[in-house]
C-alpha cells in the first residue's frame, strides 16, 4: 500500500533540463513540474527512493539561461525513470534564483488547471 503526504508547495509545469549523479555517473533528464521545494522528473536512468545526490538544473527564460546548483536532493518516490525529488540542501543565492524563476514563470500565461498534470503523482 502506498502512503501519501501533502506536498509543501504546488508545482509549476515546466520543461527544463537537469543533471544528477547516479551510481557514480553524471546522468541527465527533464524536469516536468517544479516548486521551491522539489520537482517531478524523468531521468535517463532510474533512481531509488532515498537516493540523495547533488543536482544541477538549467532554467531558461526570456532573460537567458540560469544554472541552479542543488547541493542535496532526495528521491521521495520513484516509478521506473520517473521520480519525485525534494530539495534537502541549497545555497541561498541559488534558492533565490529558483524562486525568481518560478515567480516569473507563473506571471506568464499560467495554465488554468496547473495542478492537473501532477494530480496522479504522490504529494510531499
Residue with cell 528521491: 75
Confidence of residue 122 (pLDDT cuts 50, 70, 90): very low
The pLDDT of residue 12 is 80
Whether residue 79 has pLDDT greater than 60: yes
Looking at domain 12-106, does it have CATH number 2.40.10.220?
yes
Whether residue 43 has pLDDT greater than 50: yes
Which position has the higher pLDDT, 3 or 15? 15
Confidence of residue 37 (pLDDT cuts 50, 70, 90): very high
Whether residue 9 has pLDDT greater than 70: no
Whether residue 2 has pLDDT greater than 90: no
Kindly list the distances between the CA atom of residue 44 and the CA atoms of 31, 41, 93, in Å, as whole numbers in the listed order: 12, 10, 28
Whether residue 121 has pLDDT greater than 50: no
> How buried is residue 79: exposed, middle or buried, by Cβ count under 10 Å (0-12/13-18/19+)?
exposed
Kindly list the distances between the CA atom of residue 4 and the CA atoms of 1, 51, 80, 121, 122, in Å, as whole numbers in the listed order: 10, 18, 18, 9, 6
pTM comes to 0.76
The H or E element spanning position 101 is helix 92-107
CA dist 40 and 14 (Å) reads 10
What mean pLDDT do residues 58-72 have?
A: 89
Whether residue 56 has pLDDT greater than 90: yes
What mean pLDDT do residues 96-103 have?
A: 90
Amino acid at each position: 500500500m502506498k502512503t501519501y503526504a501533502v506536498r509543501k508547495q504546488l508545482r509549476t509545469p515546466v520543461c527544463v533540463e537537469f543533471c544528477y549523479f547516479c551510481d557514480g555517473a553524471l546522468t541527465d533528464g527533464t524536469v516536468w513540474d517544479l516548486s521551491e521545494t522539489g520537482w517531478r522528473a524523468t531521468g535517463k536512468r532510474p533512481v531509488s527512493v532515498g537516493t540523495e545526490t547533488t543536482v544541477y538544473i538549467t532554467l531558461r527564460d526570456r532573460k537567458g539561461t540560469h544554472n541552479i546548483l542543488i547541493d542535496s536532493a532526495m528521491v521521495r518516490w520513484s516509478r521506473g525513470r520517473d521520480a519525485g525529488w525534494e530539495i534537502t540542501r541549497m545555497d541561498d543565492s541559488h534558492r533565490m534564483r529558483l524562486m525568481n524563476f518560478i515567480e516569473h514563470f507563473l506571471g506568464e500565461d499560467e495554465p488554468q488547471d496547473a495542478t492537473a498534470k501532477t494530480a496522479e503523482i504522490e504529494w510531499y
